[in-house]
Amino acid sequence: MEEIDVEKRRLGVNFNKEGKAEIALWAPKVECAEIYYVNKDRSEPLRGDSYGLWTLTTETLKPGDLYFYQLDGKVQFPDPASLSQPDGVHGASQAYDILDFGWTDDKWRNFPLKDYIFYELHTGTFTQEGTFAEIEKKLDYLIDLGITAIEIMPVAQFSGDRNWGYDGVFPFCVQNSYGGAKGLQMLVDTCHNKGLAVVLDVVFNHVGPEGNHFENFGHYFTDKYHTPWGNAINFDDAWCDYVRKFFIENTLMWFRDFHIDGLRMDAVHAIKDFSPVHILQEIKQHVDVLIRETGRNHYLIAELDLNDTRYINPINKGGFGLDAQWIDEFHHALRVSSGQPKTGYYSDFESVVSLAKSYEDAYVYDGSYSDHRKKKFGVKAAENPGQQFIVFSQNHDHVGNRMLGERTSVLVSFEMQKLLAGAVLVSPYLPMLFMGEEYGESNPFQYFVSHTDPELAEAVRKGRKKEFEAFHIEGDAPDPMSEETFENSKLQWDLIGQEPHKTMLSYYKKLITIRKEHAALHILNRKDVSVEYTADQGVIVLQRQHKIQHTICMMNFSKEPQQVKVPVFATTWHKLLASSDLKWKGTEDLPRTISEEISLVLPPESFTLYSNEHE
């Protein structure tokens, strides 16, 4: 078995400098493998080895040509490592020269992770047209907002043209209805030339159902483990070597050939691997080699439902070496603090108390007993820097996994929306916005798919219904298969010029600007964070400091005015932002300056930020 070459994609169809197609297919389950040229209506045999790798170098296949693999002279399937599926998951693969793109981003240098301000978006619903080309037209808007990195939900080819993206069945292939591989390369190139980083969401814990033909080729799955979405990918069972290689190659391709700056790795807790070197660690090791070879920096970010620092600790300290992780617990604590029901996984969190804990310790559960899980949960993350944690008030999961997909804007008041935004952007962690939240988008973001298999479609409907039983919600979820469900989830861009959306957008811009301009906020030193709270008042006072600069953030989550007194060194405090000010459609202006002790009556559902020094 050949070693992985970080400089070049080896699996699937690739073109060498002479223009010849180099074909590599892993199919240990078959006795004979051929490539069938659709345009020429003929096939050509591949040569196999003892590892089940079938190869061929040929001049017959050209970029743009359609092809299938023919197994044992009988059945034809698309390429598991296909780069293009112009006719969808059931159609022929299309040869694509991934290196034949005229990149113009030579001057681009990835931001340090500490400077990332993420904006999560779904390509199909971010614009009416739902393409990469249309995203390009909105980049100046995102830059003006203050975003430094867009995070794109998965784009691996899925069935139909409507899907969240987590049902992808061709991990190397970019969804044809979005614009395909070239469309994504163009988007990344444009982002870099405008000064934006690009993070891509990838799924390495399962493969979607429709169009999934992996098992016909090789031992991609194992019965040793199970995931909520089907068979577990084989990372440690017999024949796992090429499966590991497949996903390592996939990671390297996004970074090397698409110039992606970071990968958000979906639900890594569902990746089952008891190998001496975990697959995530091996991926990280190869990425580090690529970084040394190219001089371009790339990040690996985990979505992780485990409060386990092993995933983000350095390899030399026994960790897997991932750069950062999402903290869902911050979100849960924030939602409960805003007065939303403590049902399902929210039942473990206490208003204000849990949020204060997350500000200070990142994880809410770091060894204490979780009643929802019925066990002690988590470890302490005291030594992990703030840039290793990503926080948010909403994301695709926690909006879309509501039965009706309601956004925060229709669940809480205008004042509370401003408070939630502030709570995220003054945290000692990396902030992420979910598309549309910055102007209070009112359309839902609902779960949608476009499977062509009727039985599968019905199974998805039943699965959604069962999912909401834990939340004790009555009624029926919107039909995931309905095109109306998809259309209802698209952003309404005309809202940004209307009130109160216009004011909300200005408020977000101001918040982001303040975070960038004040060292006490953008330098993520967790050691200089102090948090106090009063549970019965629903108040949190968060203090952050860098050298002589000191900021005090007062958050009133209650529906009543609350008196706060903060004993501090005698100084003059300057107001940076108060969500209750008339400028932000609040009810009253708070003082521009305060001398000596901070003593204020905080308006209901308000966010107030003062600083003692401008650097």
String of DSSP letters for 478-542? --TT-HHHHHTTS--GGGGGSTTHHHHHHHHHHHHHHHHH-HHHHS--GGGEEEEEETTTTEEEE
Euclidean distance between CA atoms 206 and 611, whole angstroms: 47
Would you say 210 and 120 are in contact if contact means Cβ atoms under 8 Å apart? no
Would you say 150 and 199 are in contact if contact means Cβ atoms under 8 Å apart? yes
Active-site pick, 303, 581, 605, 613: 303
At 104, list the tokens.
Answer: 């113009």
Would you say 26 and 53 are in contact if contact means Cβ atoms under 8 Å apart? yes
348 appears as a binding residue in the annotation: no
CB burial readout 315-346, b (16+ within 10 A) else e? eeeebbbbbbbbbbbbbbbbbbbbbbeeebbb
CB atoms within 10 A of CB 379: 14
397 appears as a binding residue in the annotation: yes
5 classed as catalytic: no
- Identify each DSSP E strand in 219-374 by its residue range: 221-227, 230-233, 262-265, 299-302, 324-326, 369-370
520 appears as a binding residue in the annotation: no
- Nearest residue to 452 via CA among 162, 189, 213, 183: 162
401 appears as a binding residue in the annotation: yes
SS3 category, 35 = strand
Sign (positive/negative) of CA torsion 219, 222, 227, 229?
A: positive
320 phi and psi angles, rounded to 5 deg? -90, -15
150 phi and psi angles, rounded to 5 deg? -90, 140
At 349, list the tokens.
Answer: 């969190």
- Identify each DSSP E strand in 453-548 by its residue range: 529-534, 539-546
- Residue 336 parent element (H or E): helix 328-337
286 appears as a binding residue in the annotation: no
- Residue 156 parent element (H or E): strand 156-157
129 phi and psi angles, rounded to 5 deg? -80, -30
Contacts of 388 (CB under 8 A, 6+ apart): 312, 323, 324, 325
Contacts of 459 (CB under 8 A, 6+ apart): none
Token look-up 């400028």 returns 583
Euclidean distance between CA atoms 500 and 583, whole angstroms: 12
Would you say 34 and 70 are in contact if contact means Cβ atoms under 8 Å apart? yes
332 appears as a binding residue in the annotation: yes
Active-site pick, 266, 308, 361, 366: 266
400 appears as a binding residue in the annotation: yes
The β-bridge partners of 595 are: 572
266 classed as catalytic: yes
265 appears as a binding residue in the annotation: yes
329 appears as a binding residue in the annotation: yes
Cis? peptide before 341, omega within 30° of 0: no
330 appears as a binding residue in the annotation: yes
264 appears as a binding residue in the annotation: yes
582 phi and psi angles, rounded to 5 deg? -60, -30
207 appears as a binding residue in the annotation: no
Sign (positive/negative) of CA torsion 102, 107, 113, 116?
A: negative
Would you say 277 and 241 are in contact if contact means Cβ atoms under 8 Å apart? no
122 appears as a binding residue in the annotation: no
Binding residues: 264-269, 328-332, 396-401
Residues classed as catalytic:
266, 303
Binding residues for substrate: 264-269, 328-332, 396-401
